[in-house]
């Protein structure tokens, strides 16, 4: 069962959370029993956080999330590509996360990919296609060796069962914008069930706010869809994303 919560507060930066939505999905008893033998803890939940961005082109948001996370996410110390499987589409990505003492830094190695979502204009299969969004999907994998100079016990691994981003272009308003949804199920290690319940949703909100603020801080012009996007695989629009 999924419970949906609408937060009507204002963040510490004076940011109005218009259009903000967060939900939490509690696993069933069956999935709990299955997860006990897996890498993640049985009490973990799947969180979904949605925020509106005053950016017309979904490629701009996707590129900043994909290539430049260190510049806007204060929880990330280092980000690097370990292996490029399909150029700029599918890769093994390593992230080193910051942490406040006495908690150590944590690393995660993600298999991630991104894809353009398109919608056909008209019934003809040869009709023009309109870009309506970009999806980035990632999950933790075991890849490579631990950094040699750091013992394994001092660099625990953060496990992300789900770490997905969906960027949808919304055109039913006077000015087009994007709706950005972050879906996350993670085991950061060393934290209690109460911590995940009370803090993880706020962490996802802070990430989306930081990403949105990065566009305002750099005063990047809002590019239209006529600008040349990166060459990515295209997929027909679907009704759901999970």
Q: How confident is the model at residue 106 (pLDDT cuts 50, 70, 90)?
A: confident
Pull the structure tokens for residue 132. 């309506």
Of residues 160 and 8, more confidence is placed in 160
pLDDT at 240: 38
Q: What pTM, to 2 d.p., does this model score?
A: 0.70
Contacts with 198 (C-beta within 8 Å, 6 or more apart), sequence order? none
Question: How is the chain split into domains, by residue range?
Answer: 2-236
pLDDT at 194: 86
pLDDT at 149: 53
Of the CA atoms within 13 Å of residue 65, those in its CB half-sphere come to 27
Contacts with 137 (C-beta within 8 Å, 6 or more apart), sequence order? 112, 113, 114, 115, 164
Please state, in angstroms and rounded to a whole number, the distance separating the CA atoms of residues 84 and 224. Answer: 29
Helix 193-217 to helix 58-67 angle (10° resolution) is 120
pLDDT at 130: 76
pLDDT at 239 over 70: no
pLDDT at 134: 94
From residue 58, give the alpha-carbon distance in Å to each of 211, 214, 219, 223: 13, 15, 16, 10
Q: What are phi and psi of 96, to 5 degrees?
A: -110, 115
> Worst-scoring range by mean pLDDT, 4-8, 175-179, 198-202?
4-8
The pLDDT tens digits of the residues spanning 46-105 come to 899 999 999 999 999 999 999 999 999 999 999 999 999 999 899 999 999 887 666 778
pLDDT at 101: 67
CATH tag for 2-236 (out of 3.90.480.20, 3.30.530.20, 3.60.20.10, 2.60.40.10): 3.30.530.20
Cα-trace Rg, the chain:
19
Of residues 148 and 56, more confidence is placed in 56
pLDDT at 189: 79
- Dihedral of the alpha carbons of 193, 196, 197, 200, in degrees to the nearest 10: 180
């Amino acid at each position: 069962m999924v419970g949906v919560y609408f937060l009507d507060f204002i963040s510490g930066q004076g940011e109005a959370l218009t259009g903000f939505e967060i939900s939490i999905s509690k696993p069933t008893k069956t999935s709990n029993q299955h997860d006990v033998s897996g890498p993640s803890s049985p009490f973990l939940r799947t969180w979904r956080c949605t925020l509106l961005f005053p950016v017309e082109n979904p490629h701009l948001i996707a590129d900043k999330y994909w290539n430049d996370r260190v510049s806007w996410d204060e929880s990330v110390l280092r980000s690097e590509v370990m292996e490029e499987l399909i150029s700029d589409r599918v890769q093994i990505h390593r992230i080193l996360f910051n942490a406040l003492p006495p908690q150590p830094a944590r690393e995660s190695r993600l298999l991630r990919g991104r894809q353009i979502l398109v919608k056909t204009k008209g019934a003809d299969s040869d009709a023009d296609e309109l870009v309506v969004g970009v999806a980035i999907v990632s999950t933790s994998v075991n890849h490579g060796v631990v950094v040699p100079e750091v013992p394994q016990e001092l660099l625990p691994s953060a496990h992300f069962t789900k770490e997905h981003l969906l960027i949808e272009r919304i055109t039913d308003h006077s000015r087009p914008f994007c709706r950005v949804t972050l879906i996350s199920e993670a085991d950061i290690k060393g934290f209690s069930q109460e911590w995940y319940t009370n803090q993880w949703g706020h962490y996802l909100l802070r990430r989306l706010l930081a990403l949105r603020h990065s566009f305002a801080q750099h005063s990047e012009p809002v590019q239209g869809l006529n600008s040349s996007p990166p060459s990515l695989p295209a997929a027909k629009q679907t009704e759901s994303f999970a």
